Structure 1
Amino acid sequence: MDGSQGGIGEGPLDPASVRRFLSDNPEFLTGDDGLLDELGLKVAAGGNVVEFAPAAMARIHAAHRQEATQRQHLEETARANFAAQAQTHGAVVDLLDARNNSDLARRVDELAQQRFGLAAGVIALETEAHPPAGWRMLVEGQVDMILGGPQRLARMGFAPTAMGLFGERAEAIASMAMVRMAIWEPSRQGLLAFGSADPEGFTEDMGTELVAFLARVVERTAERWPLL
């Protein structure tokens, strides 16, 4: 179709050319039922007005529903994050009230279960002597092995190498959150670990900020009572 017949021409299409062609040749659109269906349009009863078809309106409503669902998901995520932060702040107060390192370990386990609904909370320490009562004893290099390397500061998800941290409750643990700690001077390697009975309780794509924050609190609190 050439330009002398009111066509669009052989050159590149542009919106102005398309608009001019449809204005000069309205029957090109209104007379092509297949094209109207593809575009989600229909000819009104008068025959000279093109309306949105029900299918087009359905797509609009579907887009609105999707937008509402996404907004609801964001709101639920924000509420969950706020609740987790509030529980974390409460946990910090509990930890700071510890009377000694044994009491600190007990409080970590209690807040894991009572505040966060987890299966266990554990403090572990690499040491050749006995660690404080309630702490798990690790051999040198075991923190690196559990976390998956000396450069890793945290690990989320399921780690078979960490099962021993949870003692008699290990069979109930399906996912873990673990953060490296360095306690006292000279520094001793340790771990703060939380275990969940839910395989999706901790996953590899989760952020570690809140767990790492609790680990820093445990470090500072434990340093009140140096090992002899």
Structure 2
Amino acid sequence: MGESAGAQGISEEIRDRILSDPELILEDAEMMRALIAANDRAMGENIVDLRGVAMKRLEGRLDRLEDTHRSVIAAAYENLAGTNMVHRAILSMLDPLSFEDFLAGLAGPVAETLRVDSIRLVLESVQNPDDPAIRRLGEVLCVAEPGFIDDYLTAGRNVPVRTVVLRQAIPDSARVHGAMAEHIRSEAMMRLDFGKGRLPGMLVLGSEDPHQFRPTHGTDLLAFFAGVFERVMRRWLS
């Protein structure tokens, strides 16, 4: 009679299913928690179940491991998406057949693909930046005096000049971003080497999102993009 009373609360079908495949319960985290809690109540408050304590610790470790696993997968997908985005931008950059179209493409398809609100190419030159020939090339091109690029990259501080710099705190950037300067909240700057005997250049990506470019972000993709950009620019400068 005790057996029939014990089985009264569960159907024969479910009971037979559990007995034939007990892993169903072992693999169900919520069901296992409920069984452990019921076992604790049955033992009373004066008994410590070391196996239950160990299981809770293992469960916590498993939860942390699953969170780490999800974070790694999310980071991998994000990195893949960023790689694809940079590759598409490079392909767009290789299409133009004239320097004017190349600059127009930077402000158009390339900026759209990289999802930035401002893109500027800064070239150091002893030539007058107000020269009409320079102005005809569009707003994406900014001509500055020698030394300007390193000062802008370091924000005037006495620190080593890096090839790629990401930052959120923007100094006086109207010289670079023009009318967009008051809206730019983060930027990525890539120092460009055009070869021996040439003054350096700088490609600047600006965003209204203060979190798009942060100093803690990786710079490998941007360094690769800058390397391709340098080679394309050398073709136009030759």
Q: CA deviation at 1:199?
A: 1.0
Q: Provide the C-alpha distance between the structure 2 equivalents of 1:69 and 1:190, rounded to a whole number of angstroms.
A: 43
Structure 1 residue 68: deviation in Å?
A: 0.7
Identical residues among aligned pairs (%):
26
Q: Is the aligned partner of 1:142 residue 2:148? A: yes
Query: Is the 8 Å Cα contact of residues 123 and 144 (structure 2) preserved in structure 1?
Result: yes
Indicate conservation of the 8 Å contact 2:188/2:205, yes or no. Answer: yes
Q: How many residues align?
A: 184
Q: How many angstroms apart in 2 are the aligned matches of 1:151 and 1:173? A: 22
Question: How far apart, in 2, do the equivalents of 1:74 and 1:58 lie?
Answer: 24
Q: Are 1:176 and 2:187 counterparts?
A: yes
d(CA) in 2 for partners of 1:213 and 1:183?
15
Give unmatched runs, 5+ long, in structure 1: 1-41
What's the counterpart of residue 82 of structure 1?
Answer: 80
Question: Which protein is richer in helix relative to its size?
Answer: 2
Deviates more, 1:203-212 or 1:193-202: 203-212
Is 1:153 matched with 2:163? yes
- The RMSD of aligned alpha carbons is 2.8
Q: Distance in 2 between matches of 1:103 and 1:188?
A: 23
Q: Whole-Å Cα distance in 2 between the matches of residues 140 and 83 of structure 1? A: 37
| Equivalent residues in 2 for 1:45-56, closer than 5 Å | 51-52=49-50, 54-56=52-54
Specify whether residues 209 and 109 from structure 1 end up closer, same or farther in structure 2 by C-alpha distance, changes over 3 A only.
farther
How high is the TM-score relative to the length of structure 1? 0.70
Mapped partners of 2:116, 2:102: distance in 1 = 17
Instruction: Provide the C-alpha distance between the structure 2 equivalents of 1:168 and 1:112, rounded to a whole number of angstroms.
Output: 19
Give the greater-gyration-radius structure (CA).
Answer: 1
Structure 1 counterpart of 2:215, from 204, 220, 223: 204
Code of the aligned partner of 1:139 = E
Determine if contact 1:181/1:215 at 8 Å carries over to the other structure.
yes
State yes or no: 1:226 paired with 2:232. no
Aligned to 2:118: 120
TM-score (norm 2): 0.68
Counterpart amino acid of residue 68 in structure 2? Q
Q: What is the rounded CA distance, in whole Å, between the counterparts of 1:60 and 1:145 in structure 2?
A: 54
CA distance in 2, matches of 1:89, 1:200: 22
Per-residue CA deviation, residues 73-97 of structure 1 (Å, 9 max, x unaligned), is: 1100000000111111111111111
Matched residue, 1:60? 58
Whichever structure has more strand as a proportion of its residues is 1
Kindly indicate whether the alpha-carbon contact (under 8 Å) linking 2:93 and 2:110 is maintained by their aligned counterparts in 1.
Answer: no
CA distance in 2, matches of 1:163, 1:200: 20
Residues 1:72 and 2:78 aligned together: no
Give ranges in structure 2 of 5+ residues lacking alignment. Answer: 1-39
